[in-house]
Structure 1
């Protein structure tokens, strides 16, 4: 109780310093807690699976979608595989019940063994038989509630994409932190029946998961599979290079792309956020340490008096520890309140719902207590040791000369501004790269370009659909394509020419595609509506494919490829994000209109809302029982850079907070500096010193620290940003003026922070400082 009373007395007498430390630490802890909420949620993905340590995804080289036959054959021939399942999703999944449509992004077709392998609690239905029958479906609790309300969904029939009716056979709990699509799972036997799939299906890529027997070595099993499958006549001579990726490592894998609507995190982003969170805690801690050092003389005199009056070194230790405990506990309470108040905006910023309930578990409560204890040690024992390391006689003898060296202060403040400048530079360059992406030529015109998903019911009447659309004067053109332009990378073929294998993406379009998107022909011609033979006998390359093929043996064959003639070459266009090089692309004219999955509609920009309503009305006239789904292409392109947009927003917020916390510390130090030099200032003023000279004297050290921080931060920031930009095939340049601007900004903030205290000290009446001298 005496320690508590003394702590409150110390707070009362040094309220300004306590408030500065409390403010900085509270803000830093708020940032750290918000970051850790996100980080822990991401690292906990898939960890709820009881069999997670035994489950692996089958991959072959860079491919993670393999033929169905491989999974079926492996299950039969390798006893190490206890259970196997495949999943498959289809584009644009949606369900209909009565007259209501429901978009379900997290939906897939799965085998019944899916529920044997994965831990998914059933609310109703039998997990052992729920997916046994064709055209059966299992819904998550929230989707079932949305579709059926309080009605029992078991046995109800719902329509999938206007194609088939499925019977609800089970309802499961909503599974959070699970990277596989599990809001709706349809029986895989439905896909087998509709698309005639079977054990001998080699032309459909599936995601295959194996649950291995305990103590099975996955590397040895993959090697056995290599040997087994390469002996098969169908696969002889192929380098399969099988591997088994642990299920728990898939979500944060850095060398694998997401597949079949699965979710994928960003490990590099998490590492950056952890580093930022720790650095902001360090910046707040530096404020505390700097204040202790700067107050060293007064603190030592206080300790000396306590030691003379009989206070033991251990008592002083515990008093400082208790003071720091009060500070840390108060900061944690305030930070918890801030987290509660800012959680919703933070979730909107990162685009993810966070589950904070898990932090109430024993493990995380223990981590929190260890973190609190660490802060208490740093904030309590450091100053206690610092101020009690000499005996009483030494305190008396050296009290006027203690801590005249400000080297540690200077170094710590420099470190604070190094971190702040790096964050400012990072924010500027990430924003610059995003701006570069948004303004760089894509190779096509994406302005007012609308993508509309086509459905089977309307594919036999696409010409009528197109004619009705073009009757609207605000619609400039319509083209049909196999997919969105942002999904042109999902289909590829391997072409072997001159003993070299080239992977080439392909898409199917119509003759209106290239002029509608204002693409430029490098040579040759576009498809022509008047030459119908081009549907089966022609193709167009992008320039990336032409650069590869132009000097090969195809030249001697007039570039005939698979009995098709080269019609023209179109300029490269971005159908993937700027992270990737533009891949070789072949465009075919659709030989079968059933392959059209998207309509691309060019709007004039006039009366856009009314035009969108018109398009929807025409769609429903053609397909009254199907879901209408549209999106502007530039919005789809923006979604490719969600991570970068989140990163620049977080960097901006964290950079501002880091600068603010550092400014709190430098504000407090500037005030202490002014107080310590008040007599010197008085003497200088009596001897004719100008206010500007005194301001320069007080501010020059702070300016020097920021300049040194800028010199240190610049190469670090350059290296970090250069490494980050390596993730992009097309990127901006590291301009020197951004580094200079960040340094000037940090310097300006520092000067504004200290100038008020310096001005007060410089304009103070010297008589007040010297009246007792």
Structure 2
């Protein structure tokens, strides 16, 4: 072993350039691999900290609508938890939970906006979030209790200047829950970062269910979790739970079938259960739990594999080239009695030293680049969640696997060569060097695919962001006001109306970014269509520059709160043949009169088709006024911002001011596409860098092999440019083959991806040409310097060298 290690170090130092290229390439690849591994292991292990987590399930259901469309959902009536627990013996515990969408909480006259959840006593018996203070078995015995997390307790401590245990028994209030205080009865550790349920406080349902904001469907507004007594009862429990839920909703199902919302089939409402550990990466709908897209993680895995493949193929290509150049020396060793295992050991020790150096450098780079991973994935890699034994096992396994594969390939190739010649002088490889050509083609095929994909994703993203929305979002400030009282909203509106820098303003319940309200509209033929509902005021249409196609706008002097304005899409459903003004329609069973039709506009992102829409005039400044849109003069931007800040301090000094420039906020809806364009672009850059390093090393090997040929050509009158063309032409040919292979693959992937968008750009020919030009340019830059040096060399020196 000692001699093998000594020989390995001597060989590495002897071939410094190849060693440096291999280490740099492997360092870059190992950094990418380790970053992706840390992120993926974290994402695939969400909710794994709960004791007996394999016994915990969440209720979901599938709906089949009248038009045949199927949709999954998870929101149910919170009272189901009590019924399921009482009726099903296999269910040990059951609880409902729902978020309250960041309500304002008052402590010692300080207003805080926190992530509050509503739940039931069994929550503390199902989930094993660590309780720091309080009695887990007695929590929520009273309906006016609140359990807070350590982070919220720290905020309270800063306000009250006390020890954390002194907070127990103190009271907090919610502005939206009048005449009711909540007593702090427990303090929990913050939910672990890998928990899909994240909260800063928990309160019972009784006083808060209809007072704090919620998401809802026809069937309720809560998630329902249950825990079974034994894992082997999972299937039986699921069947009994599903039957209980169907029985509970029988009347509601018949009602929605009679209104032609749901299909008149026995399977129009089918409950099912999801294991807790599968909730985070499941594509089923979740309103109150964190989720991630499982497909995006698979894509990242593939990207990591490809980058590692490029680095490994480079390493194999360079080591093979070096090995075949020294085939005579190794053949002498084999003739003198060295067996294949001895040659393998020689290669193994040399390869593992290079790989270890690269992975150590990769570990250092991984630590430094963790913030970059957060930007790309929008999810931080938390060092405290890393499973050290598992990480070390992955590291050791990967290093050994890479070393074994590369060493075996070298031995196999060498044995094949050894059979052809035991000891030979001169050339030891033919000019075509087939394996190297294949490696280069594969690497540049991948590079062209990644470059073309990044261009295509950027093109689609820009197409969506630049598409005409049908309304004006420029010079508009989106001001969040749902945490203000009705009186404060009215006062704010009065101040805004008197300020000359703001030309118009409007209040609405939606800002096209967060949340949505849906309802069923019924036409005269008793047909139903699902439509978006926006509650607005009479300034809404003018502030957003919407166009009235038929009828008129809402009138402030004669408000009719049963009147409605619809978009063209909904108008065509109500009456495809023409005029619909003054017709009466039913929206969720309530009769409303149509007074106007507006143009179709993109209230959702341009990833989705425009849906039927109804604008409903709100009756007050209460819960239907969650956002204010302020249209300001272009030259008064700075003054308007200062006015908003000053006015807010007058109207609501103790409440958080949250405003955004609306066009920037709407553009942020395409962050996912922009993020993937960055990931693919960075992957393309890394693949190109590693490929270029390999090509650089291969160029040196090939040119050194052809030094005698170059000298003879120059003696016979060949010019420098002809030599340069000859050497570069071979590499360009490989890239050209790679381009031919990459184009159809890229087209297929891009086409499949674009099918996810309602409005999409075309796949232009120039995407592939540009990707090919970029790759050819990089390849030429990589090989041309060495080719030029070889072409300019004095032929006498070349022949003497040979």
TM range (shorter): over 0.9
2:22 is equivalent to residue 21 of structure 1: yes
Give the structure 2 partner of residue 571 of structure 1: 599
Deviation digits for residues 523-572 of structure 1, max 9, x if unmatched? Answer: 2222111322x212x11112221222223999799344343211111122
Task: Give the direction of change, closer, same or farther, for the CA distance of 1:227–1:462 in structure 2 (3 Å limit).
Answer: closer
TM-score with structure 2 length normalisation? 0.90
CA–CA distance in structure 2, aligned partners of residues 196 and 596 of structure 1:
12
CA–CA distance in structure 2, aligned partners of residues 162 and 356 of structure 1:
39
Task: Give the direction of change, closer, same or farther, for the CA distance of 1:203–1:252 in structure 2 (3 Å limit).
Answer: closer
Deviation digits for residues 675-694 of structure 1, max 9, x if unmatched? Answer: 11111111111111111111
In structure 1, stretches of 5+ residues that fail to align are none
Give the structure 2 partner of residue 49 of structure 1: 50
Task: Give the direction of change, closer, same or farther, for the CA distance of 1:45–1:203 in structure 2 (3 Å limit).
Answer: closer
**Tell me, what secondary structure is at the counterpart of 1:502?**
strand
2:400 is equivalent to residue 373 of structure 1: yes
Give the structure 2 partner of residue 540 of structure 1: 565
CA–CA distance in structure 1, aligned partners of residues 761 and 526 of structure 2:
37
- Displacement of 1:425 in angstroms is 1.0
Is this contact kept in 1: 2:478–2:662, CA < 8 A? yes
Give the structure 1 partner of residue 575 of structure 2: 550
**Tell me, what secondary structure is at the counterpart of 1:191?**
coil
Task: Give the direction of change, closer, same or farther, for the CA distance of 1:296–1:50 in structure 2 (3 Å limit).
Answer: same
- Which of the numbers 167, 178, 183 marks the counterpart of 1:167? 183
CA–CA distance in structure 2, aligned partners of residues 686 and 481 of structure 1:
84
- Displacement of 1:65 in angstroms is 1.3
CA–CA distance in structure 1, aligned partners of residues 540 and 761 of structure 2:
30
In structure 2, stretches of 5+ residues that fail to align are 63-71, 263-267
Question: Could you say what the CA RMSD is over the residues aligned between the two structures, in angstroms?
Answer: 2.7
Alignment of 1:418-567 (within 5 A): 418-455=445-482, 458-460=485-487, 462-487=489-514, 489-493=516-520, 495=522, 498=525, 500-532=527-559, 534-536=560-562, 538-551=563-576, 558-561=583-586, 562-567=590-595
TM-score with structure 1 length normalisation? 0.93
- Which of the numbers 204, 228, 234 marks the counterpart of 1:216? 234
Deviation digits for residues 730-758 of structure 1, max 9, x if unmatched? Answer: 22221111111011000010011100010
Task: Give the direction of change, closer, same or farther, for the CA distance of 1:240–1:552 in structure 2 (3 Å limit).
Answer: farther
CA–CA distance in structure 1, aligned partners of residues 801 and 210 of structure 2:
100
2:169 is equivalent to residue 155 of structure 1: yes
Task: Give the direction of change, closer, same or farther, for the CA distance of 1:54–1:156 in structure 2 (3 Å limit).
Answer: same
- Displacement of 1:68 in angstroms is 2.9
Is this contact kept in 2: 1:426–1:651, CA < 8 A? yes
- Which of the numbers 697, 703, 719 marks the counterpart of 2:748? 719
Task: Tell me how many residue pairs correspond in the alignment.
Answer: 765
- Displacement of 1:361 in angstroms is 3.0
Task: Give the direction of change, closer, same or farther, for the CA distance of 1:608–1:267 in structure 2 (3 Å limit).
Answer: same
Task: Give the direction of change, closer, same or farther, for the CA distance of 1:468–1:762 in structure 2 (3 Å limit).
Answer: same
Is this contact kept in 1: 2:571–2:580, CA < 8 A? no
Task: Give the direction of change, closer, same or farther, for the CA distance of 1:94–1:635 in structure 2 (3 Å limit).
Answer: farther
**Tell me, what secondary structure is at the counterpart of 2:762?**
coil
2:634 is equivalent to residue 605 of structure 1: yes
Q: Could you tell which deviates more after superposition, 442-451 or 511-520? A: 442-451
2:278 is equivalent to residue 277 of structure 1: no
Is this contact kept in 1: 2:711–2:799, CA < 8 A? yes
Is this contact kept in 2: 1:225–1:242, CA < 8 A? no
2:257 is equivalent to residue 257 of structure 1: no
CA–CA distance in structure 2, aligned partners of residues 435 and 148 of structure 1:
47
Give the structure 1 partner of residue 68 of structure 2: none
- Displacement of 1:18 in angstroms is 0.5
Task: Give the direction of change, closer, same or farther, for the CA distance of 1:548–1:399 in structure 2 (3 Å limit).
Answer: farther
Give the structure 2 partner of residue 225 of structure 1: 244
Task: Give the direction of change, closer, same or farther, for the CA distance of 1:53–1:543 in structure 2 (3 Å limit).
Answer: farther
Deviation digits for residues 608-664 of structure 1, max 9, x if unmatched? Answer: 344223223323423344333222323432342332222122222221111000000
- Displacement of 1:233 in angstroms is 7.6
Deviation digits for residues 144-177 of structure 1, max 9, x if unmatched? Answer: 2233146323223233356454322222222211
2:85 is equivalent to residue 80 of structure 1: no
Deviation digits for residues 392-425 of structure 1, max 9, x if unmatched? Answer: 7832269845455422211111110111111111
**Tell me, what secondary structure is at the counterpart of 1:252?**
coil
Task: Give the direction of change, closer, same or farther, for the CA distance of 1:235–1:619 in structure 2 (3 Å limit).
Answer: farther
**Tell me, what secondary structure is at the counterpart of 2:666?**
helix
Give the structure 2 partner of residue 122 of structure 1: 131
Is this contact kept in 1: 2:8–2:350, CA < 8 A? yes
Q: Could you tell which deviates more after superposition, 41-50 or 575-584? A: 575-584
**Tell me, what secondary structure is at the counterpart of 1:523?**
strand
Alignment of 1:321-336 (within 5 A): 321-336=348-363
- Which of the numbers 658, 667, 692 marks the counterpart of 1:638? 667
